């Protein structure tokens, strides 16, 4: 019995201890729960306050967005870009520190007020002008009435003139219709006539082509007939004075010889001057008689002197007549690349010739070919640097000369056969220098290099025969 009570006591003690522990534990947990509940309530209150504050700030922010014209959904970056753009566009004249919407509005307001003041002044001036215009309108009303009366009269006159015009036009239309019919009839008749004339034109064109061919053949025959006179001598050397470098020739006043005429001198037995090189050149200084003239020796060869009986010739002059010439472009005597056209014209005129036509290096044509024009003197041909006008002018002159059957001779051959020599040669230096001016010359009086044509003095002599048609 005592053991059972002891066990009960132990169990009771354990139960009491467990109860006490459980009570203490429950109290502690309850106390912590109360503290946690208080903290949770405080936290919830703070969160509510923070949410309300954030909501207020967002509402204020959205309100500010609306104040500056931005949507509530716009981000701060987008608003910043719009702000900078607005400042650049509407407040560019403000300092950087004053660039905001308030200052920008103030600046624009001041500007608008200034413009309003200026506009008010302009409006006042405009009103004054309106009053002046009104006064002028009142002044011109009588004039307007007078002009209106005149306009009414003019309208009436115009209506009458228009009626008369319509009547005249109707009459003219009838007349034109009649003339049109007559014109059609004439056109039909003209077409028939034109067909007949076209047949005649075709026949004439064929005839012209035929005559052109005959003309070319005739020109060839004329050249063949006339050309030998170019090869005959014009006169002879009668006496020679080597000491005074003077000769006398058998040409004079009757032959229409002029002073300063130049001749080339050929050996006495020369029948064709084109096939023999000249031996000297002379220039007439005095005309002494009908068939006598004095000339000075311009150029000769001491090894082959001028002798009495030597024949003389120039293509520029013929006894009793004047030779007519035409000159192309490229007339360069000294080879310096510059035109010597006027010099050659003067030389031909001094020798009794006539220049009918010439072409300058600029392509300008002077004079015209005539029926008396006999020779065409050919200068240097144009190169790739020459102008189109020069090429065209040279081509046209060559075509005209070909149609007229002119005899062609180069400038060098002309001057050589004339016996002309440049008495005052000019040697150019620098870019205009001519290499031919610096070639070595043979010693004075010494033998010269052969030109390829053997002098008749070194050929077997034959009896002298005068050419047909020659006076010698």
Overall size of the chain counted in residues? 472
Average pLDDT value for residue range 247-267: 88
- Selection from 237, 256, 236 nearest residue 247 by Cα: 237
> SS3 of 302, please?
coil
What is d(CA 380, CA 376) in angstroms, rounded to the nearest whole number?
Answer: 13
Mean model confidence pLDDT for the chain: 80
What's residue 248's pLDDT? 96
Which among 71, 68, 66 is positioned nearest to 85, based on CA atoms? 68
**Nearest-angstrom CA–CA distance, 27 and 345:** 150
Which tokens is 29 given? Answer: 């947990």
pLDDT band at 328; cut points 50, 70, 90: very high
CA distance 40 to 29: 16
Residue 426 has pLDDT above 60, yes or no: no
Q: Pick the more confident residue, 213 or 329.
A: 329
Q: Give 50-60 pLDDT, tens digit per residue.
A: 888 887 787 77
Percent of the chain with pLDDT over 70: 83
- Which pLDDT belongs to residue 43? 83
Is 308 within 8 Å of 249 (Cβ atoms)? no
Q: Is the pLDDT reported for residue 265 higher than 80?
A: yes
Cα–Cα dist 42/360, whole Å: 120
Average pLDDT over every residue of 149-176? 87
pLDDT at 393 over 60: yes
Q: What is the mean pLDDT of residues 151-158?
A: 88
The pLDDT of residue 349? 86
Work out the average pLDDT over 86-91.
Answer: 78
Q: Band the pLDDT of 431: cuts 50, 70, 90.
A: low
Residue 428 pLDDT exceeds 60? no
DSSP letter, residue 275: G
Q: What is the tens place of the pLDDT at every residue in 194-225? A: 888 888 888 888 877 777 776 666 666 665 55
Q: Is a pLDDT exceeding 70 seen at residue 131?
A: yes
pLDDT for 112-126, tens place per residue? 888 888 888 888 888
Instruction: Name the 3-class secondary structure at 354.
Output: strand
Q: Kindly state the average pLDDT of the residues 422-441.
A: 59
Check residue 456 and give its pLDDT.
47
What are the φ and ψ backbone dihedral angles of 337, each rounded to 5 degrees? 85, 5
For residue 266, which of 281, 250, 251 has the smallest C-alpha distance? 281
pLDDT confidence of residue 467: 42
In this structure, are residues 330 and 397 in contact, taking their beta carbons and an 8 Å threshold? no
pLDDT value at residue 224? 56
Q: Which is nearest to 285 in space by CA: 350, 342, 343? A: 350
Q: Name the pLDDT band for 440 (thresholds 50, 70, 90).
A: low
Contact between 351 and 322 (Cβ < 8 Å)? no
Q: 229: helix, coil or strand?
A: helix
Task: Considering only CA atoms, give the Rg of the chain.
Answer: 62
Report the pLDDT value the prediction gives residue 214, as an integer from 0 to 100.
Answer: 67
Q: Which is more confident, 318 or 434? A: 318
Burial letters 124-162, b for 16+ CB under 10 A, else e: eeeeeeeeeeeeeeeeeeeeeeeeeeeeeeeeeeeeeee
Cα dihedral 269, 274, 275, 280 sign: positive
- Local confidence band at 315 (pLDDT 50, 70, 90 cut-offs): confident
360: left (phi over 0), alpha (psi -120 to 50) or beta: beta
Residues near 273 by Cβ (< 8 Å), separated by ≥ 6? 231, 232, 233, 264, 266, 311, 313, 417
Least confident of 208-222, 280-294, 393-407: 208-222
Q: Which residues 6+ apart lie within 8 Å of 241 measured at CB?
A: 247
Is the pLDDT score of 86 beyond 70?
yes
| Model pLDDT, residue 445 | 45
Q: Say if residue 377's pLDDT is above 90.
A: yes
Of 117 and 433, which is predicted with more confidence?
A: 117
**CA angle, 467 as apex, 462 and 468 as ends, to 5°?**
140
Which of 4-18, 116-130, 202-216, 312-326 is predicted least confidently? 202-216
């Amino acid at each position: 019995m005592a053991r059972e009570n002891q066990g009960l006591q132990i169990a009771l003690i354990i139960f009491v201890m467990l109860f006490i522990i459980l009570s203490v534990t429950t109290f502690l947990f309850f106390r912590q729960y109360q503290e946690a509940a208080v903290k949770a309530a405080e936290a919830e209150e703070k969160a509510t306050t923070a949410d309300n504050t954030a909501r207020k700030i967002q509402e204020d922010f959205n309100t500010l967005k609306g104040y500056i014209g931005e949507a509530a959904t716009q981000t701060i970056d987008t608003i910043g870009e719009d702000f900078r753009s607005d400042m650049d566009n509407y407040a560019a004249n403000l300092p950087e520190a004053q660039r905001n919407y308030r200052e920008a509005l103030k600046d624009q307001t001041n500007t608008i007020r200034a413009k309003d003041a200026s506009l008010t002044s302009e409006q006042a001036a405009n009103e004054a002008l309106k009053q002046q215009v009104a006064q002028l309108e009142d002044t011109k009303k009588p004039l307007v009435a007078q002009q209106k009366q005149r306009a009414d009269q003019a309208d009436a006159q115009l209506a009458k003139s228009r009626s008369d015009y319509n009547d005249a036009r109707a009459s003219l239309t009838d007349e034109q219709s009649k003339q049109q019919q007559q014109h059609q009839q004439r056109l039909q008749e003209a077409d028939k006539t034109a067909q007949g004339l076209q047949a005649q034109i075709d026949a004439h064109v064929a005839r012209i082509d035929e005559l052109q061919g005959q003309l070319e053949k005739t020109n060839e025959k004329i050249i063949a007939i006339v050309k030998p006179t170019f090869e005959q001598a014009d006169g002879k050397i009668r006496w020679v004075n080597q000491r005074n470098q003077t000769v006398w020739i058998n040409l004079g006043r009757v032959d229409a010889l002029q002073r300063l005429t130049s001749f080339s001198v050929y050996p006495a037995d020369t029948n064709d001057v084109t096939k023999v090189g000249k031996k000297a050149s002379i220039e007439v200084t005095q005309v002494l008689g009908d068939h006598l003239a004095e000339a000075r020796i311009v150029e000769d060869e001491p090894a082959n002197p001028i002798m009495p009986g030597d024949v003389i010739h120039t293509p520029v002059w013929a006894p009793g007549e004047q030779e007519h010439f035409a000159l192309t472009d490229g007339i360069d005597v000294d080879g310096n690349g510059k035109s010597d056209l006027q010099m050659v014209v003067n030389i031909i005129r001094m020798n009794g010739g006539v220049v009918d036509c010439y072409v300058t290096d600029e392509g300008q044509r002077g004079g015209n070919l005539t029926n008396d024009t006999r020779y065409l003197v050919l200068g240097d041909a144009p190169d790739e640097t020459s102008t189109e006008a020069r090429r065209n002018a040279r081509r046209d002159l060559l075509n005209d000369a070909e149609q007229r059957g002119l005899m062609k001779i180069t400038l060098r051959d002309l001057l050589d056969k004339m016996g002309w020599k440049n008495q005052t040669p000019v040697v150019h230096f620098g870019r205009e220098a001519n290499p031919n001016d610096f070639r070595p010359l043979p010693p004075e009086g010494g033998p010269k290099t052969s030109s390829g044509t053997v002098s008749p003095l070194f050929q077997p002599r034959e009896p002298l025969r005068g050419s047909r048609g020659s006076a010698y």
